[in-house]
Amino acid sequence: MSAEIDVTGYLARLGLPELAGHEPSVPALCALHRTHAERVPYECLEIHLDRPTTICPADSVRRIVSGRGGYCYHLNGAFSALLRALGYRVTRHVGGVQGNDAPAPEITANHLVLTVSGLPSDESPDGDWLVDLGMGDGLHGPLPLVEGVHQSGPFRYGLRASEVAPGGWRFDHDPSAGFRGMDFRAEPARMSEFQERHVELSTSPDSGFVQVAMAARRDATGADVLRGLTLTRIGADPARSELSDPKAYFDALADIFGIVLSPEDRAVLFPRVAGAHERWMRAQAGARAETEAVGRPDLPMRMNL
49 forms beta bridges with none
pLDDT of residue 67: 96
Confidence class for position 1, pLDDT limits 50, 70, 90: very low
Print the domain residue range for 267: 205-293
Closest by CA to 181, choosing from 198, 158, 199, is: 158
Can you give the pLDDT at residue 294?
59
- Other CB atoms within a 10 A radius of the CB of residue 115 amount to 22
**Cα–Cα distance measured from residue 126 to residue 104, given in angstroms and rounded to the nearest whole number:** 30
Provide the β-strand partners of residue 89: 117
Per-residue pLDDT at 176: 87
pLDDT for residue 195 is more than 60: yes
Asked if the structure places residue 263 within a domain, the reply is yes
Q: Is the pLDDT of residue 76 over 50?
A: yes
Comparing 289 with 124, which gets the higher pLDDT? 124
Indicate if the pLDDT at residue 45 is higher than 50. yes
Domain count of the fold of the chain:
1
- Find the farthest-apart pair of alpha carbons in the chain and give their distance in angstroms, rounded: 63
Instruction: Please state the rounded mean pLDDT for residues 195-202.
Output: 97
The answer to whether residue 270 sits within a structural domain is: yes
pLDDT, tens only, 12-41: 999 999 999 999 999 999 999 999 999 999
Q: Is residue 245 part of a domain?
A: yes
Distance (Å, rounded) from C-alpha 163 to C-alpha 182?
11
User: In the sheet that 169-172 helps form, which strands lie side by side, from edge to edge?
Assistant: 143-144, 129-131, 111-117, 89-98, 181-184, 169-172, 155-161, 148-152
What 3-state class would DSSP assign to 47?
helix
Report yes or no on 259 lying in a domain. yes
Write out pLDDT tens, residues 95-149.
999 988 878 899 999 999 999 999 999 999 999 999 999 999 999 999 999 999 9
Q: Is 92 part of any domain?
A: no
Query: From residue 83, how far is each of 12, 174, 177, 187, 221 by CA, in Å?
Result: 15, 27, 27, 19, 25
Classify residue 266: in a domain, yes or no: yes
Residue pair 116/88 in contact (Cβ under 8 Å)? The answer is yes
pLDDT above 70 for 252: yes
Q: Is residue 253 part of a domain?
A: yes
Q: Is residue 127 part of a domain?
A: no
CATH number reported for the structural domain that contains residue 225 in this entry: 3.30.2140.10
Tell which residue, 91, 162, 83, has the closest CA to residue 130: 91
The angle subtended at Cα 35 by Cα 30 and Cα 223, nearest 5°, is: 105
Residue type, 262: S
